[in-house]
Structure 1
Amino acid sequence: MKDLRHHFETPLRTTAFHNRIAAANVLNEWAPWAGYTTATVLEDAETEYTAIRNTASLYDLCPMIKYRITGPGAVDYLNRLTLRDVARLPVDAVHYTAWCDDHGKLLDDGTLFRLGEAEFLLCCQERHLPWLADSAIGFDVTIRDVTDEIAGLSLQGPCTAAVLTEAGFDVSALKPFRIARYPFKGGTLTISRTGFTGDLGYELWIEPGRALPLWDRLMEAGSYCGIRPVGSTALNLARIEAGFITTNADFVPADQAVREDRVRSPYEMALDWMIDFGKGHFNGRRALLKERDTQSGEWAFVALDIEGNVAADHAILYDGRDREIGQVTSAAWSPVTKSSIALAHMRRPYDTKAKGGIWAEIYALRELHYVKLMMKAEIVARPFFAPPRRRATPPGRF
């Protein structure tokens, strides 16, 4: 068994794609992600974002936490654990889901892949093995952390289907949230039509030993459109435009929160659409039923269009400039919508009854000096950007 007493002395691990990413990382900008080193910006964040929205991009997904869940009781177990009805998820399909503690507060969200009748892969941001193991008591299931065993690569952008075809993987019939498998270098490449950009895109899953040949083939196949590797800064901008939430950015997991008022329920994060009360008992069900019936949620999660061209990072929100009613969790100047957009928590009922209008208190850095700006904000629908190509089947060739 590994001795963890001096784990703090161990440097961050590198992923299966690290050698290629390091060679492209001109700025040498890195950040930690789940014990791995990951690139934030390789050369230019704006150019990398442009690749996501206009051509094709590659992003290293290896640090994403992955749990393989197998056994005769897998469906019943996952129905007890998560909010959605897993029995309705077909084999070779994916759905977005979340799970709560017994008080109905969010622990994390993620994607659940059904690889077989009794075989699943749960991908998420944070590590949850103790919670998953405790929740499995009484179920005939096996849960393994397989993060190190699967190399993940996100291929996103309007040209991605054409790039995959050029690389020898015909994805013309692959629908959103579906999975296909292809032979590659003596192994199997699994491709899912999923992603974190709200655009046409795919996620590729391969054994780590075959990761670099896959990277090289994709880079060669995408050379015609200027495919490029991207860092997390560009991806974060794209995910905000798509209206997607991120753990520890837009909400704090219930098992990590120090302050009791920082946790949120699915109702308070606009995730109540995925709750299936008809499937039977699941973690947090009683608390969520009570919240639904009494309308007791204190917070609303909203999308904002804010005047001006300054990103409203961590802005405080007001009703009529004087009553504090919430705060921004994620914000950006969106190149594709040409507007300042944000995701935010607002106290109810101010999300529907802000008498003085919603104002954002923004601090803009102007040559080493912060300037306070009070900007009008308007609640709008999510996502901010949703091109039809993201769901078109067969996908268009760009």
Structure 2
Amino acid sequence: MIPQRHYEKPLRETPFHPRTAPLNRLQNWGAWAGYMTPSCYGDSAMEHTGIRNTATLYDISPMIKYRIRGPEAADYLNRLTLRDAARLPVGAVHYTAWTDDAGQVMDDGTLFRLGADDFRLCCQERHLPWLLDSAWGFDVTIGDETDRIAGLALQGPVSATVLAAAGFDVSALKPFRLATFPLSAGEVTISRTGFTGDLGYELWTTPEDALVLWDHLMAHGAPLGLVPTGTDAVMLARTEAGFLTTNLDFIPAQQALREDRTRSPLELGLGWMIAWDKGPFTGRRALMAEREGKTSRWALVGLDIPGNVSAEGSILYHGKRREAGFVTAACWSPTLKRNIAIAHVAAKYADCRDLWVEIYALRELQYHKLMLPVTKTERPFFAPDRRRATPPGRF
């Protein structure tokens, strides 16, 4: 038998593939960081319903994961990222981002503090050369552990109940905190984090224990309504939550071919995370000049749109005539019963007055142009109290 050549199967399988593949009735797969992951198992609308009403499992193993260790790990991360890593307690997580020297965002992600000198940085894109270059002069070691960590997102109002039934007591676990539990011969780390804007957790273990974890959760969770979910449903949920996605809502600075395509954290609404007083960090000088000179070119806004036709990819106009921005993510929200959008708007139109969106609605093979007024609204669009309640409610 001739062995399979690498180019005949360019996408790798995650540690959960032996379970997700038989469940993927549509054989609907997507590519994520070199791995194949289910886009939809059978019905994305029902999978989204699971996120908002019961509990769902989503394979997040392809997420890029870097381990950063050493006596100067916190100092290094303070130089690399926007937030103050030194203030992050052991056993906690925070959302952060990092920029190039020009103050343009390269990526965002979550930073886990596993020990006093031990961190894990999770993100969408690969950055090892940048991380290594940025580590010059710091006593740290940096390694890519993406292949060595299997991850599941357990999201939805019943997620804490599922964990309790499986023997994992997370009742005292606050948002953005983590705890470790025994699993088979190893262990699983559970963080109260997620990408759906709902009550939820992320579970991290070794590839060897991946199937044990999946089977254990499904055995105890299926009677409570636990179902697997694919990327399509998760992306709908993240839009409802108003979360950003790399290469969908912004182009990483290191990948942009056109200078005007990059964005600063101030232009992406991430200025709140910048720890201006922590000392030097990459991009600080450029960001201070932007802040003090009020030179931001763009503003990221949330929008309400009349009707129920998604405005994704649409152009925004001021006074119906002058181009003023564009929509990067949009949907008719089944949860909110609202037509919502995330959009980039030129800074001078950031108040969104007299702003209109041009939507081409496909109706029986013909496109109809709709010019609709938009209303600026706060993000997140969906933010239920249950996502932060501690102990979590029993659903």
Normalised to the residue count of structure 1, the TM-score between the two structures is: 0.97
Alignment equivalent of 1:377, drawn from 374, 377, 385: 374
In 2, the alpha carbon distance for the partners of 1:144 and 1:255 equals 20
Could you tell me how far 1:248 is from its partner in structure 2? 0.2
Alignment equivalent of 1:392, drawn from 373, 384, 389: 389
Q: Which amino acid aligns with 1:161?
A: A
> 1:164 — aligned with what?
163
Instruction: State how 1:298-377 maps to structure 2 within 5 Å.
Output: 298-352=297-351, 354=353, 357-377=354-374
Displaced runs of 4+ in structure 1, greater than 3 A?
Answer: 6-10
Is 2:67 the counterpart of 1:68? yes
In 1, the alpha carbon distance for the partners of 2:169 and 2:231 equals 28
Q: Which amino acid aligns with 1:246?
A: T
In 1, the alpha carbon distance for the partners of 2:50 and 2:355 equals 34
Is 2:103 the counterpart of 1:78? no
> 2:115 — aligned with what?
116
Could you tell me how far 1:371 is from its partner in structure 2? 1.5
> 1:225 — aligned with what?
224
Is 2:139 the counterpart of 1:130? no
Deviations 1:163-201 (A, max 9, x none): 000001000000000000000101010000000001000
Number of aligned residue pairs: give it. Answer: 391
In 1, the alpha carbon distance for the partners of 2:7 and 2:263 equals 31
Query: Contact 2:352–2:376 at 8 Å: present in 1 too?
Result: no
- Give identity over the alignment, percent: 63
Could you tell me how far 1:385 is from its partner in structure 2? 0.5
In 2, the alpha carbon distance for the partners of 1:16 and 1:50 equals 26
Q: Which amino acid aligns with 1:391?
A: R
In 1, the alpha carbon distance for the partners of 2:383 and 2:352 equals 28
In 1, the alpha carbon distance for the partners of 2:207 and 2:364 equals 45
Deviations 1:193-233 (A, max 9, x none): 00000100000000111111111111111122221100000
Q: Which amino acid aligns with 2:321?
A: D
Secondary structure of the equivalent of 1:252? coil
Q: Which amino acid aligns with 1:32?
A: A
In 1, the alpha carbon distance for the partners of 2:349 and 2:39 equals 36
In 2, the alpha carbon distance for the partners of 1:7 and 1:213 equals 28
Ranges in structure 2 where 5+ consecutive residues have no aligned partner: none
> 1:3 — aligned with what?
none
In 2, the alpha carbon distance for the partners of 1:30 and 1:370 equals 29
Which stretch of structure 1 is more off in the superposition, 345-354 or 191-200?
345-354
In 2, the alpha carbon distance for the partners of 1:108 and 1:171 equals 30
Deviations 1:249-303 (A, max 9, x none): 0000000000100000000000000001100000000000000000000100000
Is 2:56 the counterpart of 1:57? yes
Is 2:270 the counterpart of 1:283? no
What is the CA RMSD across the aligned residues, in angstroms? 1.0
In 2, the alpha carbon distance for the partners of 1:171 and 1:19 equals 28
Q: Which amino acid aligns with 2:325?
A: G
Which stretch of structure 1 is more off in the superposition, 90-99 or 216-225?
216-225
Instruction: State how 1:117-266 maps to structure 2 within 5 Å.
Output: 117-266=116-265
In 2, the alpha carbon distance for the partners of 1:9 and 1:103 equals 41
Could you tell me how far 1:353 is from its partner in structure 2? 6.0
Ranges in structure 1 where 5+ consecutive residues have no aligned partner: 1-5
In 1, the alpha carbon distance for the partners of 2:76 and 2:245 equals 25
Deviations 1:133-157 (A, max 9, x none): 0000000000000000000000000
Q: Which amino acid aligns with 1:242?
A: A
Q: Which amino acid aligns with 2:99?
A: C
In 1, the alpha carbon distance for the partners of 2:85 and 2:159 equals 29
Could you tell me how far 1:373 is from its partner in structure 2? 1.0
Secondary structure of the equivalent of 1:349? helix
In 2, the alpha carbon distance for the partners of 1:63 and 1:173 equals 29
In 1, the alpha carbon distance for the partners of 2:193 and 2:163 equals 14
Could you tell me how far 1:7 is from its partner in structure 2? 7.0
In 2, the alpha carbon distance for the partners of 1:374 and 1:26 equals 39
Q: Which amino acid aligns with 1:164?
A: L
> 1:268 — aligned with what?
267
In 2, the alpha carbon distance for the partners of 1:353 and 1:371 equals 24
Normalised to the residue count of structure 2, the TM-score between the two structures is: 0.98
In 2, the alpha carbon distance for the partners of 1:95 and 1:28 equals 35
Is 2:296 the counterpart of 1:297? yes
Secondary structure of the equivalent of 1:239? helix
In 1, the alpha carbon distance for the partners of 2:361 and 2:247 equals 23
Q: Which amino acid aligns with 1:163?
A: V
Secondary structure of the equivalent of 1:269? coil
Q: Which amino acid aligns with 1:169?
A: F
1:35–1:307 Cα change, 3 Å: same
